[in-house]
Amino acid sequence: MDGTPQEYRWHAEPETLGMAREPLERGMTTLLAGCADGRHPGAQAYLSRHGTALLEYACGEARPGAPLTPDSLTAWFSACKPLTAMAIAMLYDQGLLDLDDPVRRFIPAFGNGKEACTIRHVLTHQGGFANAVTAPQGRSAEEIIAEICAYPAEYPPGGKAGYHPTGGWYVLGEIVRVIDGRGIGQYVAEQLFAPLGMHGSQMGIPAERQRELNSRLALVAVGVSEREPFASQAMVDTFNSPAEIAQVNPSGGIRGPARDLGRFYEFLLAGGRWEGRQLIDARTVALFTACHRWDLPDLTLMQAPLPWGLGFGLYGNADVHRTVSRRMFGHSGMVSSVALGDPELGLACVVITTGLLDPMGNARRLREVTGAMVEACTDARGSSP
């Protein structure tokens, strides 16, 4: 690990937030060790408690020869899905849609056995079109939506469950566009990024902006795995291509610093309130982060009967240490990242790595780091400073 760049930014003394420094430093050492053994070229972490930022951390390289810092823009992949879900929540909050509205109310061509699919089905991964889009790269949203509309249902919507990695989120993004008039990238930027101060993040970064960011824009890599890696070099080359980085992808296309994703979870833990403004009703936040699906084998995720909220994964996520509370909500991203909020502990945690490991290897490294963050809480659950 000698010579590997790393940077700590302590925003508060851990003791003032009822936390211990040693477990946190141990968790960050895990990320640093991952740079040394090739699991990932770089990593970021962010932690806050009771709405107060505590720690930003970064180690390794954003790209060869350029250190990764807390200000680097990293790929969140599917960890950004909850932001698309929250766009739907904001429209629900305004009475512009109902969770049990059929998708066809907003996208009339949506059919071929999927006619009964509702917005709730899409948010809980029960829409029946998990494999509708396998290669969105370089295609317009209109082309992707047309493909999804024509795709035959894999099962009657609502009857089974299977994680929808891509297609469901393009459908949600299109519903936002139809109702509001703004594309999902613009909507998220104006309704979430701007008011929450997530100034470093963007869903789809235009080529000119990519050139301006240069080495601040972190690349991903095939990590050294014990088993067969999840990603091939060709897949990684696609993820790192200017065209892919520029694509407005509501299923996994946001890049930004870990702290920005942390602010999103601080906003949710505060019941939709930010800097004195109630951006969304606290009851709506509670509704979307509550459990809406349970005890159904997931046809995509190895039959695991994982619980889901409306766009949020819940307690039992393999990438999160089991010591979090049962009220935890969050999301993982492409065998490399995880973000969560824990209402009982008051924690917002984000861990982003740039090496795409095998799923089991990735789960171990993320569990180790999130476990250290929870272990650092030395006071009682639910207490406030």
DSSP classification of residue 113: S
Q: Which among 181, 117, 192, 196 is positioned nearest to 149, based on CA atoms?
A: 117
CATH number for 216: 3.40.710.10
pLDDT at 383: 47
Residue 106 counted as domain residue = no
- The structure's pTM equals 0.96
Mean pLDDT of residues grouped by 10 in the chain (385 residues)?
A: 90 97 98 97 98 98 97 98 98 98 98 98 98 85 96 96 97 98 98 97 97 97 89 94 96 98 98 97 98 95 92 96 97 97 98 96 97 90 47
In a domain, 326, yes or no: yes
Question: How large is the angle between the packed helices 81-93 and 258-269, nearest 10 degrees?
Answer: 40
Q: Give domain status of residue 344, yes or no.
A: yes
pLDDT of residue 137: 76
> Which pLDDT score is estimated for 385?
40
Q: How many domains would you assign to the chain?
A: 1
Q: Residue 286: how many CB atoms within 10 A of its CB?
A: 14
Please indicate, yes or no, if residue 269 is contained in any of the structural domains.
Answer: yes
Q: Is residue 61 situated within a structural domain?
A: yes
* Residue 234 maps to a domain: yes
Among 1, 62, 29, 18, smallest CA distance to 368 is for 29
Is 127 domain-assigned? no
Confidence (pLDDT) at 381: 56
Range of the domain at 211: 6-79+202-276+311-375
Residue 154 domain flag: no
